[in-house]
Amino acid sequence: MNYWPRVRPVLFVAVAATGVVVSAASVQFQSMYKSTDAASISFFGKKVAALVISKDDNMRMGAEEALAKELTALGMQGIATYRIAPKEELQDPERAKAWIQQRTGVEGVVALRPVSVDKRTTYTPSMWVSGYYNTFWGYYGYGWSSVYVPASTSKDTFIVVENTVYSVPKNELLWAAVVETANPKNLQMGGYQRMVRAEVFRGKFRNSYEKPQPFTPGKIEKVSFDLNEIAHKFAKGHRIMVQVQSSWFPIVDRNPQKYMKIPMAKESDFQKATIRIYHDAVNSSNIVLPVLND
């Protein structure tokens, strides 16, 4: 059974100037292409990279995570590209190739590239039957004035996104389309998650930067640190997710998960680790957010 064609309408991500990502249930196709080899290639059960080509890192990472989630739901191993390669490597084809193809064994890439954001004025039929347009001299006087006809025009924002699907081993384009959606802020967010603020903190410095200390397995310890402040409004109905992890490669260097000088770590030093976050009456993990009035 061939599952690859199901990639096609999975998640066309419309990217607004504010970084909004929406599930495009009402997008319009401007053009479409399908390779003759597409039917013979299946990504089912294979690694497929979700790539969003944008210099807005927050939007790119959030959109790649959303797309990777959709690909995984269809039976592929969706993986966000920012988790594969450092952003400094992505803009050079040869260096990106080493990370995406040679190091991770990715079979396919689903790429999204924002093309344009355009504001348009739409004239409604009521415009032409108004008193300003139905006679020449009426229009003549209106045309030289700055008179506004209520409810005769509307202004809309149109987002155009280029969507491509590639076979990495064949280095071949399998499917492509350019899609357009209007007023993305009016559409529902398709389960979109966006990182608001993140920070890296080495646990061995939890008590002192001058005297690092290792963790004792099984011992509950308090780790407290500050995130940089940011002015962000959580709208009604939004939920806050807090993610704690012991590695953030390739954003930062790999973590061997043991107490040592990380730059000195050898491949044999890297190991798995389990992190437990406690939230009970005695050990109440929490995040404190400052609140500003509008």
List the pLDDT tens digit at each of the 294 positions of the chain: 333 333 333 333 333 222 333 344 456 778 888 888 888 888 888 999 998 888 887 778 888 888 888 888 888 899 998 888 887 777 788 888 888 877 788 899 998 888 887 777 766 665 565 666 666 666 666 666 654 555 556 677 788 888 889 998 888 898 888 888 777 655 545 556 777 888 888 889 989 989 999 999 889 998 888 887 777 888 888 888 888 888 887 777 888 998 998 888 898 999 988 888 888 888 888 888 888 876
Q: What architecture is the 196-294 domain classified under in CATH?
A: Sandwich (2.60)
Cα–Cα distance list, 262 to 62, 228, 255, 257, 273 (Å): 28, 25, 7, 9, 15
For the domain bounded by 4-118+156-186, which CATH number is listed? Answer: 3.40.50
Q: Where in the chain is the domain with CATH 2.60.120.260?
A: 196-294
* Burial category of 188 from C-beta neighbours within 10 Å (exposed 0-12, middle 13-18, buried 19 and up): exposed
Strand locations in the chain, DSSP E? 13-15, 21-23, 28-34, 47-52, 77-80, 108-123, 153-167, 172-182
* Residues 193 and 241: beta-carbon distance below 8 Å: yes
Nearest to 244 by CA among 191, 284, 281, 198: 198
* Residues 188 and 23: beta-carbon distance below 8 Å: yes
Nearest to 221 by CA among 274, 259, 278: 278
Q: Where in the chain is the domain with CATH 3.40.50?
A: 4-118+156-186
Q: What are phi and psi of 53, to 5 degrees?
A: -90, 100
Strand locations in 170-285, DSSP E? 172-182
| 40 CA to centre of own chain | 29
